[in-house]
Amino acid sequence: MASKPPSLRFLLAHPAHFFACGCGSGLAPFAPGTFGTLFAWLSFVLFRPYFNDGQLLFLFAAAYLAGIWFIDITGRAIGDPDHGSIVWDEIVPFWLVLLLTPAGWLWQLTAFVLFRFFDITKPQPARYFDEHVKNGFGVMADDLIAAGYTLLLLALLKIIVS
């Protein structure tokens, strides 16, 4: 059974909570990981025109490292290191996926579906991190692995359709 999302008061109580909970997207009453990934998609479309690829890679690396801290702080405050409302781990890896996805909304939609599939099913080694590394690093790592699987399958699909 899914646990109840934290309150808006909790979200605003600490900057780490705000980011770990995906700027509020993680407070969705159902499928918060999907809402976090949708937030990543929307926000990427909004900020992408203002940065080049190198700048985005730098920002994503910083966001990933900061996410380890955000999730540690928030997970301890909630009492669950990988609470469903914590979605920063979906957001940052999906930004990376979108950066490396071929142009076009159909490719982005395919990336979204594949990323959600791999995030939910957690193929190894993602499952190892999910089950055994109960901290911000482990929470961020399993979604980065899902992003890797997504990018691999997208690359294979691009070869097939080209």
Per-residue model confidence (pLDDT) at position 1:
43
Residue 33 tokens read as: 């990981």
Q: What percent of the chain has pLDDT over 70?
A: 99
User: What digits encode the pLDDT tens for the residues 99-129?
Assistant: 999 999 999 999 999 999 999 999 999 899 9
pLDDT of residue 5 exceeding 90 = no
User: What digits encode the pLDDT tens for the residues 15-62?
Assistant: 999 999 999 999 999 999 999 999 999 999 999 999 999 999 999 999
Give residues with Cβ within 8 angstroms of 112, minimum separation 6.
Answer: 37, 38, 41, 94
Residue 27 tokens read as: 């407070």
- Phi/psi for 81 (5° steps) reads -65, -20
pLDDT band (50, 70, 90) for residue 2: low
Per-residue model confidence (pLDDT) at position 77:
96
Other beta carbons within 10 angstroms of residue 40's beta carbon come to 25
Q: What is the pTM of this model?
A: 0.95
For the chain, what are the domain ranges?
14-161
User: What digits encode the pLDDT tens for the residues 64-103?
Assistant: 999 999 999 999 999 999 999 999 999 999 999 999 999 9
